[in-house]
Structure formats: C-alpha cells, structure tokens
Amino acid sequence: MRVLVTEDDENLLLAVTTALRGAGFAVDAAPDLPQADEALHVNTYDCAVFDRMLPAGDALDYVRRHRPPVPVLFLTARDSVTDRIAGLEHGDDYVVKPFSLEELIARVRRLCLRAVPHHPPVLHCGDLEVDTARHQARRAGVLLTLTAKEFAVLTLLVTHQGTPVPRTTLTTTAWDAQVDPGSNVLDVVIKQLRRKLHDPPMIHTLRGVGYQITPA
C-alpha cells in the first residue's frame, strides 16, 4: 500500500514517514502543496495524509477544490468542533496533534483498505493465506516471518494471482520511489519469498515481463 504524506515540519514528516515505512507502507513525502499536487498527478496512492496548515495554504481548501481520487486524512493542531466537521466533510479522517503514531498507522491502514473494497481483507491462493488487516501470511496454516517489503510484494502478487505482474508495478507499489531498473532489490525479495514459501513453488518468473503467483 502506497501513501503520500504532506507535512512542512521536517521532524514530524520524518517521524510519520519512518513509522509508516516500518509498518510496511511505501511512502512518498512532500513538504508543500505544489509538490503534493505533482505527486498526486504522477503516482497512484491508497491514501494521502495532509497537514492542514502548509506554506502554500490550507490543505483542506486544496482538497475541497481538487478532490484527489484517494482517501484523505488531515493532521492538524486545529481541534475546534467546526474544524473537525470541516475536515470530515471534505476528507475521510481527521487527527489532532499531538497524536499517537500507532493510532495514525491504524487509521491510514483502514483508509487504504477502504480504497480497494473489492479486495477482501484475507486473500487466498491455494494453501496460502494473506491477512492484509493483521499483516500476516500463512502457508498450510504455518505463519510466515516476512519483512515489510516481502509482505507488500506477496500481497500484490496474490491480489493479481494468475496474472503476470510487471516488475515496475511491483517496485513502484512496494518501494517509496521507482527502483533503478538495474537494481536487483526486487529479485532479492522474490528469492526470499520463494525460500520462505517452501515447495511446491508458487512464484514464477516471466522473463521480460515480471512475476506471477499461482496455486501450487
């Protein structure tokens, strides 16, 4: 799941992006509205997090004018009833500063899952079960120990099981930015997934295309 975070406070931006990445999200960071607007036009996100008061203006006004095609969560120190109502009318969630990073992660995950309602929270591919809500995967009932990137790649493959998933789709979804085409980071993750899934093999290489998962 990919998230855009727009916050002009460098320390808070670092804390939020670090926490979300640690929870398995791919995160893009923007310090202002112009960069956020550009990112929203170039990339596809499952959730956008906006600090309300930014150098170029109120993010709520931006969302009201442009209405990004993605669930929006506002972060703000403005906690009046009027502000809360406005945030919920024009966004999808509203978190008042200071806030718990654990709570923010839970709220972002809920919005991301809302963005793809056609995917059930628990995905199945043969004897493989991927629980996107609990961030767990099991094969034949055995819990797999996966890194955040391994879980992200596996979830995407299972979501599109039986269909080839291009390398670029996997890298742009599971990583924070486009991975260098010459990098082997995706190959390393796939190798680790194959090892952890054990036999019979489920993930297949389609040379020149990407990878595909099928029931064993």
pLDDT tens, residue by residue, 136-158: 999 999 999 998 889 989 998 99
Q: How confident is the model at residue 31 (pLDDT cuts 50, 70, 90)?
A: very high
182-201: average pLDDT? 90
The residues with which 75 forms a beta bridge, in sequence order, are 51, 95
Same domain, 181 and 98: no
Domain boundary among 66, 88, 115: 115
48-90 residue pLDDT tens = 999 988 888 889 999 988 888 889 999 888 777 887 777 777 8
Same domain, 94 and 163: no
Q: How many CB atoms lie within 10 A of CB 206?
A: 12
Q: Is 136 helix (H, G, I), strand (E, B) or coil?
A: strand
Separation of alpha carbons 194 and 192, rounded Å: 5
Same domain, 9 and 94: yes
Indicate if the pLDDT at residue 10 is higher than 90: yes
Number of domains into which the chain is organized? 2
pLDDT at position 146 is: 92
Q: Residue 110 belongs to what H/E stretch?
A: helix 101-115
The residues with which 123 forms a beta bridge, in sequence order, are 130
Same domain, 142 and 52: no
Sign of CA dihedral 81, 87, 93, 98: negative
Same domain, 126 and 111: no
Arithmetic mean of pLDDT over the chain: 87
pLDDT at position 144 is: 96
115-121: average pLDDT? 58
Q: Which domain holds residue 193?
A: 122-213
The residues with which 56 forms a beta bridge, in sequence order, are none
